[in-house]
Amino acid sequence: MDLTRRGFIKLTGASLATSSLSALGFGGSGAALAEAVRPFKLTHAKETRNTCTYCSVACGILIYTLGDGAKNARSDIIHIEGDPDHPVNRGTLCPKGSALLDIVHAPTRLQVPKYRAPGSSEFKEVSWDWALNRIARLMKDDRDKNFIAKNAQGTTVNRWLTTGMLAASASSSETSYLTWKVARSFGMLVFDNQARV
Amino acid sequence: MSNLQSQDYIRISATTVTPPAARSWEDQVAKLIDVTRCIGCKACQAACMEWNNLRDEVGFFEGTYDNPLDLDPHTWTLMRFTEYENPKGDLEWLIRKDGCMHCEDPGCLNACPAPGAIVQYANGIVDFISENCIGCGYCVKGCPFNIPRISQADHKSYKCTLCSDRVAASLEPACVKACPTGAIMFGSKKDMTDWAGERVIDLKSRGFENAGLYDPPGVDGTHVMYVLHHADKPSIYAGLPDQPKISSTVEFWKGLLKPLALGSIAFGVVAGFVHWITAGPNEVQPEDEAEANHLLASKGRPTADPSRSIAEETP
Amino acid sequence: MASLAPTFGRGAMTNTWQDIKNANLVVVMGGNAAEAHPCGFKWVIEAKIENGAKLVVVDPRFTRTASVADYYAPIRPGTDIAFLSGVIRYLLENEKIQREYVRAYTNASLIVKEGYGFEDGLFSGYDHEKGQYEKSTWDYELDEQGFAKVDDTWEHPRSVMALLRKHVARYTPEMVSRICGTPQDKFLHICELIAETSAPDKAMTSLFALGWTQHSVGSQNIRTMAMVQLLLGNIGVAGGGMNALRGHSNIQGLTDVGLLSNQMPGYMTLPKDSEVTFDDYMKTRQFKPLRPNQTSYWQNYKKFFVSFQKSMFGDAATAENNWAYDWLPKLDVPLYDIIKAFEMMNHGQMNGYICQGFNPQQAFPDRGKIRRGLSKLKFLVTMDPLDTETSRFWENFGPQNPADSAAIQTEVFQLPTTCFAEENGSLVNSARWLQWHWKAADAPGQAMSDIWIMSGIFHRMRELYRTEGGVFPDPILNLTWNYTDPTDPDPEELAKDMNGRARADLTDPSGAVVKKGGQLLDGFAQLSDDGTTESGCWIFSGCWTDKGNQMARRDATDPRDQGIAPQWAWAWPANRRILYNRASADVAGNPWNPAKPIIQWDGAKWIGIDVPDYGPTVKPSESVGPFIMNVEGVGRLFARDQMVEGPFPEHYEPLESPAINVLHPKVQSNPAVRVFADDRADFGTPSEFPYVATTYRLTEHFHYWTKHARINAILQPQEFVEIGEALAQEKGIAQGSWVRVRSKRGFIVCKAYVTKRIKPLTVDGKPTHVIGVPLHWGFTGQARKGYGANTLTPSVGDANTQTPEFKAFLVNVESVNGPEA
């Protein structure tokens, strides 16, 4: 330990730069000081119950948001932790669940619809309306051209095989049901989900 | 005015006066890390970073699951993994959550020359008060567990606070709450000690005859304790000290030099005050910085070397 | 799951997560529960500490689950059937089965048809040309009334028990060790531990996941353990079960709602080309009981089907048009799964593809083939909260994605979606709980919900068909869409659709009205096949009733602290928490384990802490079996025609294997597997690729998502492979140095983790090395760039489900210099 007198005096000098008088033990009103050191950050945050998005344990989570829901406050998620009431996780979370805040606020969260033209080496921003109109156009043209109403034996089969879909594994059952309705009403059969991987 | 039921100070760095423990009936707290039920998932690390708003740089793979490679100002707790072949020839994957032990007799606090930079609350939590920290690095030297780390960005020392903010709001620390398998528990030191006793009985029944509680007497016990399957050999758990104690230099400083040094602080008050009014608070002089860097560079990092072979860890 | 349903009647995890704490023995094999499901795994630790349970782990690697195990044994990837068939042999040879349970609750006593056989690796009926079985001999011998014949003594040579004994006789401990590389003493010790749970009051739970499914014999891996559990009497009881730990948060829900190529909601199936008319379709779905008095609940299929069609098409589905049967697409092949889809893309047979929250560029085998397939599309639509590799497959990211943008003509749409925190809705967890969640904040930027996007596409399509006409618009124009805001239906409205309603007043036999037209149904028992009810997903019926949203219930009360929590959220079917819980009691209705009963007979009805998975007043004397979905009423040791590769599981080598199939060298791998010619050409041989590789996820990660989360990127920042010390020494690979791992399909360059946790196995006398390849890294997000484990993996799936064989394939490895900087 390099405790030369010169070094020591300099260090005490630096310490005095921040708190000269408490140095001699005149201070020490501990509680008040400690409260100022680390205020509890969730005191008035709004709490919303949700389910972890990752695995099928389906841990209950509490999402804390800035703002009390007043009209002029835009809520922003500031913290997520386990729901202690949940019978399975009882408040615990794994390393993924404990870091949910970082997936919600990932810098690579997508913000706007983008389109990449054939042969292009970049995305460009487009409007929702443009994107959905274009998608519907491409899908309808493909369906009209390649829909199979009857097979070689003359059986009505009403299937569309040239456009397919993979469905999300973390979307709600309600989303899934709507997705099923839409995809099957088109006659889509190349239709799968993430159950396999 | 305070609602910090359990958080009155009982020790403050660089003072000669022992603060009155106004509410001495308060239970002492402890975190019990049961290494034998830890799955090394790092939920504790994630929860610590999330709660305390800490984000290190994204590192590299260095031949170990220890990520980041070492504690640092953004990493207050860290899983350390050891592949250990026991005398029977069976593999054990020893995984230990490293971090501040919150010693009953804290070497960091004893060594700290900055008034009020390190405090100990009545419940046993040892906390660093950043605004009082001068970044001198003495706490690093004083710590028998090699825990505090000095930030290159603000030249302050950082370590686990045992989530004193959560504890003050009657919540368990973030790592404790997150732990999926209950390998980290929190409660009164007595309850944790009793529970550890039950765990040791279970472990002995499963063939771990040297199972035991790690609550080292060399620092008057700790407020973070371990249940170990091999309590006879703490060092196989990534260098957990077998018999930690405060270094003799710090003891010397504490016993003899510190009162003298405080005299010299009194001598320095005038200079300090002048400095404060002319340069403003919180400004570190180049010399101070050099000194701190020196301390930083010289501090030991016994577990940080990725090239350290696994064989060396095995007795 | 296409292995549990053929055995028990339903393809889902049987018990709850918390119920694991009631186990006496936990076997983790075919999974890595501590790493993949840490918060569920807490109940394993609880079982150990509170119930004195032992934890056994069988895995090629010493995993983090193994680190807290009481006993660990290594196994060569892809040989689990041999191991477990050896366990079955041990149980039968040593009389360690729960005889009364097996006799009453399994098909051990049923007699199999003459003509069934197994020889040299093939079951009867194999068609070498088609690579498929004709399965008519895989069935029971029936009596005059059409019921299966029975021999309770098991002495009949064609009783299922006698056939099973004969089938597993080859799996001696020596043979198991020779195939699996597991030392005999370790194998036998595990057999002993498992055998102890044949006591009626002892239970073993099996926790498994993709470690079993991702094989060309994946479904049979699971079936073998399901058979072990039937023999031990461990199904339907507290602390027992086959606990299929599902992966993603709502993959159970997506499967329940039928988002699979051949599925409809509630495990109904789409028609095949051969089912020309609705009558043909219903003829193959009669589910006539094969034993007297059996429930065979699928006999109600028509009620579920008609109610579903009414939910889809409302008044447009009528008895006259066969409930719009022709509006459902028919299948000409068993499945249009993802492997098939990418094969079609590569052959120019597909033009459009929509990836909703799914990233096949990272997730599916043979990454090169995925990229080539996407490059041949006319358009690709991605819907995701995150910037996925799939949405940027066309962009050159260097060696990790060497795409030639200019040559790729695919139009790509990258649509930003909300994430879990930004929407209401329900998810179905592994234990079949439907749990409602609430929106906490708005989505960033212009991100929109999947519901809004799918509605937007649908409306535009429908409008084009209305204005332009086009091919067969009927199902599109008649699809029910009576939502308050047609552009953005409420999740609450969709949930009620799935629950179902009365379309007319429903009356009970006395004529009293039990439901008025328009009212929500109480459960699927109220469904009818005359068009007076509708339900979008019959198994969910009861989730949102007149009493409100049952999925939002938050009463965690847990009677006897036994891990049921019956008032927390809602579980399908009918809020039953432990499936087949009738089997928790003996034939007379008394609990096998009096300390942990689930339901029992009180002389007039079934009482207990769970909803009976059984008729609530069916007397024990009526001999109704506990497996109410099965036509026999009992669990199937012999699977009849339910599996494509045989009624009993048989060990077949992975498609890429270092070993000859020592049981039957002429039938090396699964004879019923589907392999496309170009994929077969891309299989490597052991001479060029001598090491077995297996892929897995690390606990710090969730698939390919968490590399976008800073904390997780910090916790495991960079791609690596795990190599045993012996192989590392042989190949001169230093700890943390760079290596290149090659398969026939591609290579990855990454760091090496030299570890004691993988040791060479002795397989058929030869040392066999295993290399572990964690998946995760790609070229978007915050973690360091990686090549992706799927660069290496073969494009072949399980013969029943087409789940890709990610867990066992061949590679080579060499030390290389690292990339610059």
Residues of C within 8 A of B314 (CB-CB) are none
List Cβ neighbours of C89 (8 Å cut-off, separation of 6 or more).
C168, C169, C171, C172
pLDDT in tens, C511-552: 999 999 999 999 999 999 999 999 999 999 999 999 999 999
pLDDT in tens, C232-289: 999 999 999 999 999 999 999 999 999 999 999 999 999 999 999 999 999 999 999 9
Per the domain annotation, does A28 fall within a domain? no
Per the domain annotation, does C324 fall within a domain? no
Q: Are residues A156 and A179 in the same domain?
A: yes
Q: Are residues A141 and A152 in the same domain?
A: no
Closest Cβ opposite residue C435 in set A58, A134, A149: A58
Share of chain C above pLDDT 70, in %: 100
| 3-state helix vs strand vs coil in chain A, percent to 5 | 35, 20, 45
List Cβ neighbours of C321 (8 Å cut-off, separation of 6 or more).
none
Are B12 and A89 inside 8 Å of each other by CB? no
**Number of domains chain A is built from:** 3
Q: What integer pLDDT is reported at residue B284 of this predicted model?
A: 41
Q: CB-based contact (8 Å) between C706 and chain A?
A: yes
Q: What integer pLDDT is reported at residue A24 of this predicted model?
A: 27
**Number of domains chain C is built from:** 2
Per the domain annotation, does C125 fall within a domain? yes
User: Nearest CA of chain C to the CA of B158: how many Å?
Assistant: 19
From the candidates A1, A9, A105, which should be mutated to test the interface with B, based on the most B CB atoms within 10 A?
A: A1
Rounded distance, CA B37 to CA C125, Å?
51
Tell me the pLDDT band of B228, cut-offs 50, 70 and 90: very high
Of the residues C216, C247, C278, the one at which a domain ends: C247
pTM for this prediction: 0.93
Order of strands across the sheet that contains B212-214: B184-188, B29-34, B224-228, B212-214
Per the domain annotation, does C821 fall within a domain? no
Cβ within 8 Å of A, C 406-435:
406-417, 419-421, 423-431, 433-435
Q: What integer pLDDT is reported at residue B25 of this predicted model?
A: 61
B212 phi, psi to nearest 5 deg: -175, 175
Chain B residue with minimum CA distance to A91: B177
Cβ within 8 Å of A, C 146-205:
none
Q: What is the CATH number of the domain that holds C99?
A: 3.40.228.10
Per the domain annotation, does C582 fall within a domain? no
Q: What integer pLDDT is reported at residue B18 of this predicted model?
A: 64
User: Using H for helix, E for strand and C for coil, what is the string for C304-359?
Assistant: HHHHHHHHHHHHHCCCCCHHHHHHCCCECCCCCCHHHHHHHHHCCCCCEEEEECCC
- Long-range contacts formed by A148-155: CB under 8 A, 24+ apart: A149/C471, A149/C472, A151/C273, A151/C330, A151/C332, A153/C273, A155/C273, A155/C276, A155/C330
Q: Are residues A67 and A116 in the same domain?
A: no
* Chain A touching partners, 3 or more CB pairs below 8 A: B, C
Chain A residue with minimum CA distance to C540: A173
Per the domain annotation, does A16 fall within a domain? no
Per the domain annotation, does A32 fall within a domain? no
Residues of C within 8 A of A136 (CB-CB) are 457, 460-461, 463-464
Tell me how far the alpha carbon of residue A1 is from its chain's centroid: 48
Tell me the pLDDT band of B258, cut-offs 50, 70 and 90: low
Q: What integer pLDDT is reported at residue B255 of this predicted model?
A: 58
Chain C residue with minimum CA distance to A64: C440
Tell me the pLDDT band of B280, cut-offs 50, 70 and 90: very low
* Chain B touching partners, 3 or more CB pairs below 8 A: A, C
Provide mean pLDDT across the span C759-769.
97
Which tokens belong to A126? 């487009």
Rounded distance, CA C64 to CA C66, Å?
5
Task: Decide if pLDDT at B292 tops 60.
Answer: no
Q: What integer pLDDT is reported at residue C3 of this predicted model?
A: 85
Per the domain annotation, does A141 fall within a domain? yes
Task: Decide if pLDDT at C821 tops 90.
Answer: no
Are B15 and A24 inside 8 Å of each other by CB? yes
Three-state secondary structure call for residue C250: coil
Per the domain annotation, does A98 fall within a domain? yes
Q: Are residues A173 and A129 in the same domain?
A: no
- Between residues A197 and C388, the one the model is more confident about: C388
Are B264 and A8 inside 8 Å of each other by CB? yes
Task: Decide if pLDDT at B289 tops 50.
Answer: no
pLDDT in tens, B12-29: 898 766 665 555 566 899
Q: Are residues A88 and A126 in the same domain?
A: no
Residues of C within 8 A of A98 (CB-CB) are 711
Q: Are C804 and A196 in contact (CB under 8 A)?
A: yes
Q: Are C779 and C401 in contact (CB under 8 A)?
A: yes
- Between residues B262 and C686, the one the model is more confident about: C686
Q: What integer pLDDT is reported at residue B20 of this predicted model?
A: 59
pLDDT in tens, C1-59: 578 999 999 999 999 999 999 999 999 999 999 999 999 999 999 999 999 999 999 99
User: Nearest CA of chain A to the CA of C378: how many Å?
Assistant: 9
Residues of A within 8 A of B141 (CB-CB) are 1
User: Nearest CA of chain A to the CA of B89: how many Å?
Assistant: 32
Rounded distance, CA C458 to CA C476, Å?
8
pLDDT in tens, C140-191: 999 999 999 999 999 999 999 999 999 999 999 999 999 999 999 999 999 9
Closest Cβ opposite residue A114 in set C358, C414, C465: C414
Of the residues C195, C216, C247, the one at which a domain ends: C247
Q: What is the CATH number of the domain that holds A84?
A: 2.20.25.90
Residues of C within 8 A of B33 (CB-CB) are none
Q: Are residues A51 and A87 in the same domain?
A: yes
Provide mean pLDDT across the span B201-205.
96
Are B40 and C716 inside 8 Å of each other by CB? no
Establish whether this prediction's ipTM goes over 0.90: yes
Q: What integer pLDDT is reported at residue C564 of this predicted model?
A: 96
Closest Cβ opposite residue A63 in set C337, C440, C705: C440
Q: What residues of chain A score a pLDDT lower than 70?
A: 1-37
Per the domain annotation, does A41 fall within a domain? no
Q: Are residues A158 and A194 in the same domain?
A: yes
Q: CB-based contact (8 Å) between A138 and chain C?
A: yes
Q: CB-based contact (8 Å) between A65 and chain C?
A: yes
pLDDT in tens, C344-365: 999 999 999 999 999 999 999 9
List Cβ neighbours of C616 (8 Å cut-off, separation of 6 or more).
C605, C606
Cβ within 8 Å of C, A 18-37:
none
Are C447 and A118 inside 8 Å of each other by CB? no
Residues of A within 8 A of B130 (CB-CB) are 37
Q: What is the CATH number of the domain that holds C706?
A: 2.40.40.20
Q: Are residues A163 and A191 in the same domain?
A: yes
Per the domain annotation, does C586 fall within a domain? no
Tell me how far the alpha carbon of residue C60 is from its chain's centroid: 21
Q: Are B114 and B133 in contact (CB under 8 A)?
A: yes
The one-character DSSP state at C158 is T
- What is the residue-averaged pLDDT of chain C? 97
> Which residue type is seen at B191?
D
Q: Are C434 and A43 in contact (CB under 8 A)?
A: no
What are the helix (H) ranges across C9-137? Answer: 33-36, 38-51, 80-93, 99-105
Per the domain annotation, does A37 fall within a domain? no
Cβ within 8 Å of A, B 124-183:
127, 129-132, 134-136, 138, 141, 161, 164-166, 168-169, 174, 177-180, 182
Q: How far is CA B53 from CA A42, A99, B184, C60, in A?
A: 13, 11, 21, 38
Per the domain annotation, does C105 fall within a domain? yes
Of the residues C181, C215, C247, the one at which a domain ends: C247
List Cβ neighbours of B82 (8 Å cut-off, separation of 6 or more).
B93, B94, B95, B96, B236, B237, B238, B310, B313
Q: Are residues A151 and A195 in the same domain?
A: yes
Q: What integer pLDDT is reported at residue C523 of this predicted model?
A: 98
List Cβ neighbours of C44 (8 Å cut-off, separation of 6 or more).
C20, C23, C26, C28, C33, C34, C53, C55, C207
From the candidates A38, A41, A47, A79, which should be mutated to test the interface with B, based on the most B CB atoms within 10 A?
A: A38
Per the domain annotation, does A35 fall within a domain? no
Cβ within 8 Å of C, A 73-102:
74-77, 80, 85-90, 92-100, 102
Per the domain annotation, does C412 fall within a domain? no
Q: What integer pLDDT is reported at residue B253 of this predicted model?
A: 62
From the candidates B39, B184, B185, B202, which should be mutated to test the interface with C, based on the most C CB atoms within 10 A?
A: B39
* Chain C touching partners, 3 or more CB pairs below 8 A: A, B
> Which residue type is seen at B113?
P
Rounded distance, CA C481 to CA C489, Å?
9
Q: Are residues A161 and A188 in the same domain?
A: yes
Per the domain annotation, does C45 fall within a domain? yes
Are B114 and A7 inside 8 Å of each other by CB? no
Domain containing A129 equals 110-145
Domain containing C684 equals 677-815
User: Nearest CA of chain B to the CA of A170: how many Å?
Assistant: 21
Q: What integer pLDDT is reported at residue B14 of this predicted model?
A: 87
User: Nearest CA of chain B to the CA of C235: how many Å?
Assistant: 26
- Torsion sign (Cα): C717, C721, C727, C730: negative
User: Nearest CA of chain A to the CA of B7: how many Å?
Assistant: 6
- All structural domains of chain B: 9-248+291-303 (3.30.70.20)
Q: Are C20 and C205 in contact (CB under 8 A)?
A: yes
Provide mean pLDDT across the span C127-152.
97
Are A31 and B8 inside 8 Å of each other by CB? yes
Q: What integer pLDDT is reported at residue B259 of this predicted model?
A: 52
Between chain A and chain C, how many beta carbons pairs sit less than 8 Å apart?
493
